[in-house]
A and B are shown apart, each in its own frame.
Chain A
Amino acid sequence: MSTKKLMIVDDSPAIHIIIGKAATAGGYDVCAHAKNGDEAVKLYEQTSPDVVTMDVTMPIKDGLTASKEILTKNPNAKILMLSAMGDEEIVTEAMKAGITHFMKKPFKGTEIVDAINDMLSE
């Protein structure tokens, strides 16, 4: 089985390190790091990751807007939305954008890897 590619999108370098180390240990190739939604859309096109972890609140372009743009270009894109907020409104908004996987912060790196494994086995 080929190594799956992961793109991490978050404005916090700490989150990149935590997810990156767990993902690498879990057998993933972290092919791209984006610190805002604008970078995420560009890097998605350039690197074609198998799965994306996407923060919601980011400068320049938020995660919901970036996810909508990615899903418009690739409706099969697999995006795991990560947010410090988990109220009904934000989850509904994410689902309307086509996002089917959502995880509330805080999380352990291993929990993210488990969630990604589940997404890719669906």
Chain B
Amino acid sequence: MEYIEFFVDSVIESFEKMFEEKIVLEKKLSAPACISSLGAAVVVGITGGKKGRVLLDMGLVTASKLAGKLDEELEDEDLSLFTIAEFCNIAAGGATTMLNNKYKGVGLRLSTPSIFAGSNSNIYSPKLNEVLLDFSTRFGNIRFYIGFEGEWE
């Protein structure tokens, strides 16, 4: 099983359990070195035996609607950003847990999420071999960009 499949499984499982909504993987592609954000982005760093990064990107309206699924109070812009940051952390945590269990000793750990919001933001990641996972939901598409330094054996 390729490492990226752990992320696909974890995103789907985490999303369905957290938001009680369907999510479908539409595309799996090599990511460009420069990413134009849809408006709300979360970055979670991966440390340990392999260095990497998980970036979640979606529109601000999508973030607000998703957060509102959990609690109306979370529809507020700031709280909705914190909510999708928690989702990114949970999805990344599920995948890294599976990787830690498969690759004994790799000891992956997550950094606390960083949140970015705003239009016309570009994010660059020249050192990482990234994969773009584009998912559809009824609230709009959400994209995960996942990359590690080097290759997985």
Q: Which residues on A sit within 8 Å (CB–CB) of B109?
A: 57, 85
Q: Which residues on B sit within 8 Å (CB–CB) of A59?
A: 112
A57, B97: Cβ atoms closer than 8 Å: no
A87, B97: Cβ atoms closer than 8 Å: yes
Q: Say which one of A8-16, A26-34, A41-49 lies at the interface with B.
A: A8-16
What 0/1 pattern do residues 62 to 88 of B give for CB contact below 8 A with A?
A: 000001001101100011001101110
Kindly report which residue of chain B lies nearest to residue A14, judged by CB atoms. B83
What 0/1 pattern do residues 1 to 32 of B give for CB contact below 8 A with A?
A: 00000000000001001100000000000000
By secondary structure, the A interface counts as loop
A18, B70: Cβ atoms closer than 8 Å: yes
**What is the size, in residues, of chain B's interface with A at 8 Å between Cβ atoms?**
29
CA distance A18 to B67 in the complex (A): 11
A87, B79: Cβ atoms closer than 8 Å: no
Q: Which residues on A sit within 8 Å (CB–CB) of B150?
A: none
B74, A14: Cβ atoms closer than 8 Å: yes
Name B73's contact: one of A12, A17, A57, A85 (CB within 8 Å): A17
Q: Which residues on A sit within 8 Å (CB–CB) of B18?
A: 106
Apart from A17-B73, A84-B92, A84-B93, what are 8 other A-B pairs with CB-CB below 8 Å? A11-B112, A12-B89, A15-B86, A17-B74, A58-B112, A84-B94, A89-B100, A89-B107
B residues within 8 Å of A by Cβ?
14, 17-18, 67, 70-71, 73-74, 78-79, 82-83, 85-87, 89-90, 92-94, 96-97, 100-101, 107, 109-112
A residues within 8 Å of B by Cβ?
11-15, 17-18, 21, 57-59, 83-89, 105-106
9 smallest CB-CB distances across A and B, nearest first, come from A84-B93, A87-B100, A106-B18, A14-B83, A85-B93, A84-B90, A87-B97, A12-B86, A14-B82
